[in-house]
Amino acid sequence: GTKQMSLTNFFKKK
């Protein structure tokens, strides 16, 4: 199966 990644895995909070 596939797992939905979160955007915060890629982009850091400013």
Which pair of structure tokens corresponds to residue 2?
């596939």
**Smallest gap from residue 7 Cβ to another protein (A):** 5
3-state secondary structure of 6: coil
Could you tell me the smallest distance in angstroms from the CB atom of residue 9 to another protein? 7
Q: Which of residues 1-14 bind another protein (CB under 8 A)?
A: 1-14
Buried residues in 1-14 as b, exposed as e (16+ CB within 10 A): eeeeeeeeeeeeee
Compute the least distance from the CB of residue 1 to another protein, in Å: 5
Kindly list the residues in this chain that would bind another protein in the complex (CB under 8 A): 1-14
